[in-house]
Amino acid sequence: HSETMQPHVAVLSSPGMGHIIPLLELAKRLATDHGCQVSFLNITAEASAAQTQLLRAPDLPPNLHVIDLPEADVSALVSSETPILTRLSLIVRENLRCLKTVLVDLGKPNALVIDLFCTQAFEVCEELSIPVYSFCTPSAALFTFSLYLPTLDREVVDCEFVDLPEPIRVPGCSPIRPDDLLDQVRNRKSEEYEWFFLHVSRLPLAAGVFLNTWEELEPVTLKAIRENPFYHLLPAPPVYPVGPLVKETEPITESDAECLTWLDNQPPDSVVLLALGSGGTLTAAQVTEVAWGLELSGQRFIWVVRAPTEDDPSATFFNVGGEANDPKAFLPDGFLERTKEVGHVVMSWAPQVAVLRHPSTGVFWSHCGWNSTLESMTHGVPMIAWPLYAEQRMNATVLAEDVGVAVKPMADPGKGVVTREEVKRVVSMVIEGEEGKAMRHRARQIKESAAEGLRCDGGSSYDSLSRLANDWKVN
Ligand code: UDP
C-alpha cells in the first residue's frame, strides 16, 4: 500500500466505559471496513478494570494500535467526591499535556476523532493542522440541545432552566421537559455546568460530528439537523449519523460464560436483564424493593447488582469492574436461595451485548445510557426505562413517548422509591402483557432499520464513514 492510500486516524476517548466503548467501536470499523491505520490513544490515569480488560482484548484488528498515554497524576485535583464531569474533564486536561508530542511522534495522523469531553485537543491540533472530528456518543437530541445551549444561556436570564414553566424548544426538535434536563445544566452556577458549557461551545470547531444514531430512531432531530433553517443559523459543523455503533464482541470471563449458559436454559423472550450501565448504583431501600419486586413477579431475571450507595447514583462510573462485594450483605435475607431457580445474580459487570443478543432475553431494565439504549435496539429488545444520571431522563422519555419501545416505572412520591408492587407490575406487563408485546414488535422494527443502515452495500451509516475515510485518503 502507499502511505497516501491508507489514512492514519487517531482516536481519543475521555474516561468512562460509555465513551471508550463507542470510540473503540468506531476505531475498529475504520480499521476493518474502511482501510484506515488507527491509533487509539488510551488515557491510563484512573483506568477502571473494565477499561483495561477491553483495551487489552486479544482480537483487536492488526491495523489498530492502542497507545497508552503517559499517566499524569491527578490525585491532588480530584477525589471520589468530585462530581462526574468535573472529574472527567480534569483527568483529560492533565493527561492531554503530552498530546502534541504524541501526535508528532505518530507522524501527524490525517485526522483525530475525539469525544465531547476531550476538547483541549482542538488547540493542539490547530497548531499541528490536524482536522478534529467529534464523536458525540449520546443521542442526536442531546447534540442539538448542546449546540443550542449558548443561545439558551443568553436568552434565559433570570432563572435556572429547570424552573422554566414551559418545555425547552430547540428549533425543529421535540420539546424537552425541564425535569428531563441533564444533571450538568440544572445549576448554572456549578462547576459541572461550566465544564459542560466549555466543551459544547467548542463543538463548532470540529471539522465534522459523528452521531451514534440513525434515521428511524431519531427522525425528528435528524430532520431538524438536515432541514431546519434555525439550525443552520447556528455555527454548526457537518454532521454524519453513523450509528448504531455498538460492541459486536466482548471479552468473556468465566463468570460471563456461566451467565450465558444459564440463559441457554431459559425459554425465548422470558428473561429480564437488569443492568444500570457502568456507573449506576441504587440506594439500599431501592435495592430491597427491586429484589422483592422481582421475586414477587415470579419472572426470570439476570441482575447485575452493586453495593448500594445513598447519595451518588453514578458511584461506580470511574472504577467499574473492580469491586468485590458479597451480595448477601445487601440483598434481602434468603433472596438468593429463594430465587435460584429463576434468577441469576452477577456482581458489578455482565456481558451485556451477549445477553441482549440471546433469544431468551425478553426485556432490558436499563438506566438508558445511550450505548445501552443502542445495544437494546440493535438486538430488538424492549426496555424498562430507569434513568439515573447524566442525560438519561431525556433518553428515557424519547424511548417511552416517541419511539414506543419502553415503559417507565412510577416512583412512589411518598416513599421516594419504586415500590416492589410497581417493579412486579412493569416486569410482568412487559414479559406477559399485551403492552409488552407491542413494545417488542416495535423494537424488532427498529432492529431491522438499524441493520439496514449498517449494510456495506448502500447502508446510510456505513456510507457516511466510507465517504469520510475517502476524504482522508485524498488529504
Ligand atoms: N456494560 C456492560 N456490562 C455491564 C454494564 C455495562 O458490558 O454490566 C457496557 C454496556 O454494554 C455499554 C456500556 O457498558 O456498552 C455502558 O454505556 P452506557 O452509555 O449505556 O452508560 P454509562 O455507563 O455511560 O452510564
List, for residues 410-440, the tens digit of each pLDDT value.
Answer: 999 888 899 999 999 999 999 999 999 999 9
Question: Taking the chain, what is the end-to-end CA distance rounded to the nearest angstrom?
Answer: 16
Cα 344 to the center of its chain, rounded Å: 24
Distance CA 377, CA 447 (A): 6
Instruction: Tell me the per-residue pLDDT of 238-273, one tens digit each, with 9 for 90 and over.
Output: 999 999 999 988 888 899 999 999 999 999 999 999
pLDDT category of residue 231 using cuts at 50, 70 and 90: low
- Looking at residue 321, what is its pLDDT? 76
- Looking at residue 325, what is its pLDDT? 75
Q: Tell me: pLDDT of 115 over 90.
A: yes
Q: What is the mean pLDDT of residues 323-331?
A: 85
Strand, coil or helix: 110: coil
Distance CA 117, CA 376 (A): 25
Q: What is the mean pLDDT of residues 36-51?
A: 94
Q: Is 256 in the pocket of ligand 1 (CB under 6 A)?
A: no
Q: What is the mean pLDDT of residues 27-43?
A: 97
How many other CB atoms are found less than 10 A from the CB of residue 67?
14
- Looking at residue 233, what is its pLDDT? 67
Is residue 442 within 8 Å of 400, Cβ to Cβ? no
φ and ψ at 244, to 5 degrees? -85, 120
Q: Mean pLDDT lowest for which of 225-229, 347-351, 378-382, 460-464?
A: 225-229
pTM: 0.95
- Looking at residue 368, what is its pLDDT? 98
Q: Is 316 in the pocket of ligand 1 (CB under 6 A)?
A: no
Q: Which helix (H) or strand (E) holds 88?
A: helix 84-95
Give the atom of ligand 1 at the shortest distance from the alpha carbon of 373.
20
Residue closest by Cα to atom 8 of ligand 1: 349
Q: Which helix (H) or strand (E) holds 294?
A: helix 284-297
- Beta-carbon-side half-sphere exposure of residue 66 (alpha carbons within 13 Å): 21
Average pLDDT, the chain: 94
Q: Mean pLDDT lowest for which of 182-186, 338-342, 464-468?
A: 464-468
- Looking at residue 370, what is its pLDDT? 98
Q: Tell me: pLDDT of 70 over 50.
A: yes
Testing ligand 1's pocket by substitution, the residue of 13, 14, 17, 352 carrying the most ligand atoms inside 8 A of its CB is 17
Among this protein's residues, is 115 annotated catalytic?
A: yes
Distance CA 36, CA 28 (A): 9
Is residue 83 within 8 Å of 191, Cβ to Cβ? yes
- Looking at residue 361, what is its pLDDT? 98
**Residue listed under C-alpha cell 414506543:** 404
- Looking at residue 316, what is its pLDDT? 84
Q: Is 107 left (phi over 0), alpha (psi -120 to 50) or beta?
A: left
- Looking at residue 232, what is its pLDDT? 65
Q: Is 78 in the pocket of ligand 1 (CB under 6 A)?
A: no
Q: Separation of 320 CA from ligand 1 center, angstroms?
A: 10
- Looking at residue 2, what is its pLDDT? 46
Q: Is 353 in the pocket of ligand 1 (CB under 6 A)?
A: yes
Distance CA 230, CA 35 (A): 37
Cα 180 to the center of its chain, rounded Å: 17
Q: What is the mean pLDDT of residues 22-50?
A: 95
Give the atom of ligand 1 at the shortest distance from the alpha carbon of 250.
7
**Residue listed under C-alpha cell 491495523:** 63
Give the atom of ligand 1 at the shortest distance from the alpha carbon of 353.
11
| Sheet bearing 8-12, strands edge to edge | 64-69, 37-43, 8-12, 111-115, 132-136, 208-211, 239-241
Which of the listed ranges 54-63, 121-130, 243-252 does the model predict with the highest average pLDDT? 121-130
- The percentage of residues in the chain with a pLDDT greater than 70, rounded to a whole number, is 97
Q: Tell me: pLDDT of 58 over 50.
A: yes
Our separate counts of H helices and E strands in the chain read 18, 13
Q: Quick one: DSSP state of residue 246?
A: -
Q: Is 370 in the pocket of ligand 1 (CB under 6 A)?
A: yes
Q: Separation of 277 CA from ligand 1 center, angstroms?
A: 4
Among this protein's residues, is 367 annotated catalytic?
A: no
Q: What is the mean pLDDT of residues 273-286?
A: 95
Q: Is 372 in the pocket of ligand 1 (CB under 6 A)?
A: yes
Q: Tell me: pLDDT of 326 over 90.
A: no
Q: Which residues are paired to 67 by β-bridges?
A: 41
Q: Tell me: pLDDT of 158 over 50.
A: yes
At 9, the amino acid letter reads V
Residue closest by Cα to atom 7 of ligand 1: 352
Q: Quick one: DSSP state of residue 3?
A: G
Q: What is the mean pLDDT of residues 39-64?
A: 94
Distance CA 378, CA 368 (A): 14
Q: Provide the b/e sequence for 88-112 (b: ≥16 CB within 10 Å).
A: bbbbbbbbbebbeebbeeeeebbbb
- Looking at residue 4, what is its pLDDT? 54
Active-site option among 33, 59, 68, 115: 115
